[in-house]
Structure 1
Amino acid sequence: MPDYSKVFTYEVEGLSYTVSLYEENGVVMGDIEVLEGAMDVNAVYFGDDEFSGPSASLGGPLNMNGARLDGEKIQWDGTAVEKSDPGLGPDGTDKETYVEAGDTLTVSLEGVALDDIDVLGIRATSTTTEEGSIKAVSDDPEEPEDPEEPEDPEEPLLEKVLFGTQLDEAGGVIDGVAIVGEPREGYELSLPEGQEPTFENYLSFYENDVDGYDVASLQTIKFYEFHPDGYPVEIFSIDAPEDGFQSSEEVLAAYDEAIEAGALEPAQEGAELMAALSLEETGEETETVEEETASEEDLEVA
């Protein structure tokens, strides 16, 4: 769709249309779109808001004699655009300049600048108005707002990411780096203050700020949120392909794929449930979690 600059409207009983102006290769163009009814567009006139000097006019039935704007005679600028003679002729409603609701007719308004068009007129016959013809005048064009760009989806904010570089036979991480989004007791590494805890930022920190580790050595990446009692709960993980990750872009692609597949949805549902129920942990359950947490926090020294 063209980038419209001005939109003129006209509405009477039985007929309504818009004329949307834009510039193409230095020439002003107008899309005449019929919203209701139909008409045979015979001529298009245009002018600025200064009604002085000679007025452009087409002879015979294509003239705009008698057209007024708020009771004032209009001075049309430049050369009016002739599109067709009145009468549908043998083509009937198939005539090129005959437009019905839903149709658009494009016209070229040469020799004028967009800023100089404040009033627009259309001479049309075979209209669906009571009179059967119009000498229509439109002013006060709207300036279309820029279409809003679709907002980028919000990046998930993560509380803890564990980059695992060595696994035991059961798949547990025995070497790697755990990073939290903000300083937390028991954790050596956290993102810089003020940095959003998105996965891209975690990965950049792992690559650039942690010595002795790189993307190629990754075997798994585990993602956590913290329970209200303070211990981490794994929400999902992504594993490296058989030949390992070849670049950070490949890691991010694997993460995006997991998110799009709904990796975070069960975690969000679980968090809502925990908040609603406010369950208390038993002594046996707490002991188990503490043992698991301790084994993970041994990995904090990188």
Structure 2
Amino acid sequence: MPDYAKIFTYQVDGLSYTVSLYEENGTILADIAVTEGSMDVNAVYFGDDDFSGKSASLGGPLNMNGASLDGEKVQWDEAIELSRPGIGPMGDDKETYLHQGDTLTIDLGVDSLDDIDTFGIRATSTSTDAGSIKAVSSDPEEPEEPEDPEEPTYEKVFFGWDFKDDDSPLSGRWILDQAPDPNPYQADGLPEGTEPTFENYLDYYASDPVWGDVDLLQGVVFYEHDENGALQELFRFEAPEDGFQSKEEVMDAYHDALDAYEAEQETAGTDLLAALSLDLDETTETEVEDQSEEEDYDYA
């Protein structure tokens, strides 16, 4: 779906639609989508919120005479003819005839979305009682920018240069989310106020204070403390056979490992729910059997 910048809406009995504006390769486009009813879109009109000056008009059956907004006559900056009124021999197959769920994309031929504050549609053969519309929409919705997903944070990360035969850390750099206080062993911690995301850990590892080269890495391990304070490994990833050549390669390997870890956690959670459900079913079945045996027992 395009990244819409402005969305105009219009609704009357029997018909509703949206006009969504966006820019693509330097061209300003509009997606006209019918959400209820149907209409033959014959012309579109648009302009800014300044209604002074001469108004653009197509005249004849495609005019917007009498169209107003909050009781004020609209002055249009641009008008574009899309088709002549009447569906003709093509019927519903006419390119500008839209049913519910249909979308028509048009090039508005303007340089900037900032110049479009009001949008009008002249349509005939509509599903309204009047049969045609001179519709005016303003106050477009400006969709909010989607929020970036929140990055996971970690308590401790080991940047490993070498590992023992049992895969436990042998040599490398340990970095904490914050250096302990006091810090008798001079443990490395992220600079104060730094969010402990892996990208920040990696930047610090490769920075001057640590002097960690990515081409030394054989693997990276992530840790957190459990409820008893014991350090537990979350997941890890290994370097490719020829090693890492850049921080970008390390980040790519991290995201692959994180996706696999999250998928494993989701599967484990689903399995746990299924097991709990099975245990509950077995317990309920046993209780029913016990109750049945009690009912069959002759106490006389």
Same fold by TM-score greater than 0.5: yes
Larger radius of gyration: 1
Q: Is the 8 A contact 2:224 2:234 kept in 1?
A: no
Question: Take 2:49 and 2:240, find their aligned partners in 1: how far apart are those partners?
Answer: 72
Question: Take 2:187 and 2:205, find their aligned partners in 1: how far apart are those partners?
Answer: 10
Per-residue CA distance 1:152-179 (angstroms, 9 max, x = gap): 5313x13474857474x77777x63573
* Counterparts in 2 of 1:58 and 1:152: CA distance versus 1, 3 Å: same
What is the CA-CA distance between 1:83 and the residue it aligns to? 1.5
- What is the TM-score when the length of structure 1 is the normalising length? 0.64
* Counterparts in 2 of 1:247 and 1:102: CA distance versus 1, 3 Å: same
Sequence identity (%): 49
* Counterparts in 2 of 1:187 and 1:237: CA distance versus 1, 3 Å: farther
Q: Which moved more, 1:40-49 or 1:13-22?
A: 40-49
Question: Take 1:261 and 1:131, find their aligned partners in 2: how far apart are those partners?
Answer: 58
Question: Take 1:55 and 1:206, find their aligned partners in 2: how far apart are those partners?
Answer: 62
Question: Take 2:213 and 2:70, find their aligned partners in 1: how far apart are those partners?
Answer: 75
* Counterparts in 2 of 1:69 and 1:44: CA distance versus 1, 3 Å: same
Q: Is the 8 A contact 2:152 2:197 kept in 1?
A: no
Q: Are residue 179 (structure 1) and residue 178 (structure 2) matched?
A: no
Per-residue CA distance 1:183-222 (angstroms, 9 max, x = gap): 36774533255256666637964997679x9877777776
For 2:97, the aligned partner's letter is Y
* Counterparts in 2 of 1:256 and 1:158: CA distance versus 1, 3 Å: farther
Which residue does the alignment assign to 2:18?
18
Q: Are residue 108 (structure 1) and residue 103 (structure 2) matched?
A: no
For 2:29, the aligned partner's letter is M
Which residue does the alignment assign to 1:131?
130
* Counterparts in 2 of 1:251 and 1:50: CA distance versus 1, 3 Å: closer
Which residue does the alignment assign to 2:155?
158
Q: CA RMSD in A?
A: 4.3
Which residue does the alignment assign to 1:74?
74
- What is the TM-score when the length of structure 2 is the normalising length? 0.64
Question: Take 1:239 and 1:18, find their aligned partners in 2: how far apart are those partners?
Answer: 47
What is the CA-CA distance between 1:228 and the residue it aligns to? 7.4
Q: Which moved more, 1:3-12 or 1:213-222?
A: 213-222
Unpaired stretches in structure 1, ≥5 consecutive residues: 270-302
For 2:8, the aligned partner's letter is F
Alignment of 1:230-241 (within 5 A): 233-235=231-233
Q: Is the 8 A contact 1:161 1:202 kept in 2?
A: no
* Counterparts in 2 of 1:253 and 1:60: CA distance versus 1, 3 Å: closer
Per-residue CA distance 1:222-257 (angstroms, 9 max, x = gap): 665557777x54536769689785667677766665
